[in-house]
Amino acid sequence: MSSSPEIDATLRERILTSPETILDDRDLMGALIAANERSMGGNIVDLRGIAMERLEARLDRLEDTHRSVIAAAYENLAGTNQIHRAVLCLLEPTDFEPFLRKLGGEIADILRLDAVRLVLESTQNDSDPAVTRLGDVLRVTEPGFVDHYVTQGRRVPERQVVLRQTEAGDAFVYGEAAGWIRSEACLRLDFGEGRLPGLLVMGAEDPHLFTPQQGTDLLCFFADVFERVMRRYLS
């Protein structure tokens, strides 16, 4: 007389009728394979079981990669939509002051920035009242400042966009906000032949919003659009 427990007749009939329900259940199949290995004893190497374990591990890695790729795609799409909305906002104003106020207001909100500053180099001591009125977003400084700020005095290849983390922002650029800036994007601006360069600085309290490992294609596009709009005002 067998000492092994008998399976319920109804359950046995369901399994025989639809065996694919067990094959499709990973947890159940894993339990069956483990039970089979235990019944074989410790002195027998089950190559099929080893192969199954490796295939399961590989499947898990593929699923993790798949989820990471999808997450990155959604993040990139969200970033693209943000830049497109910001560009449309740039094109709305017809005067310089409203343009800069949008830069420090609505556009900063769209891009989730805590501070935005436009730095313009000038050979003159600009006493234009507009500079004072727009002091929360506009900075006017001497020639050479842009290059020194972006490179931090080091000899490095020139790039249109530089992303970096920082312990604190520059006091001249950010003013009172400098103490809580933890990452920034520096966008070089070329206003055309015969004009001094400019710099658009985007600051964030989040230290991970801008890091050197991130791509810069979208910010390069934003900088290109910003240059063209600025050339219209400068002319």
Q: What is the pLDDT of residues 157-202, one digit of tens each?
A: 889 999 999 999 999 999 888 999 999 999 999 998 889 999 999 9
In a domain, 186, yes or no: yes
User: How many structural domains compose the chain?
Assistant: 1
Instruction: Report d(CA 235, CA 233) in Å as an integer.
Output: 5
Q: What is the pLDDT of residue 144?
A: 92
**CATH value at residue 115:** 3.30.450.40
- Confidence at residue 132, expressed as pLDDT on a 0 to 100 scale: 61
81 part of a folded domain: no
Q: What local confidence, expressed as pLDDT, does residue 174 receive? A: 93
The neighbouring-strand residues paired with 120 are 140, 198
| 147 located within any domain | yes
Give the residue, 125 or 64, on which the prediction is more confident. 64
pLDDT at 12: 79
Map residue 189 onto helix, strand or coil.
Answer: strand
- State residue 124's pLDDT score: 75
Under 8 Å CB-to-CB from 197, ≥6 apart: which residues? 121, 146, 147, 188, 189, 190, 191
pTM of the model: 0.67
Output 4 or 6, whichever has higher pLDDT: 6
- Residue 172 structural domain: 95-234
pLDDT at residue 72, rounded to an integer = 63
- Chain mean pLDDT for the chain: 82
Strands of the chain (E only): list them.
115-121, 138-141, 161-165, 183-189, 198-204
Residue 25 lies in a domain: no
pLDDT in tens, 73-117: 666 667 788 899 999 999 988 888 888 888 888 999 999 999 999
> What confidence score (pLDDT) does residue 1 get?
43
For residue 204, tell me if it sits in a domain: yes
The answer to whether residue 215 is domain-embedded is yes
The position carrying tokens 């490179």 is 151
Please check whether residue 4 lies inside any domain of the structure: no
pLDDT exceeds 60 at position 42: no
Predicted confidence at residue 148, as pLDDT, reads 93
Nearest to 121 by CA among 181, 57, 187, 198: 198
- On the question of pLDDT at 223 being above 90, the answer is yes
pLDDT (0 to 100) of residue 157: 84
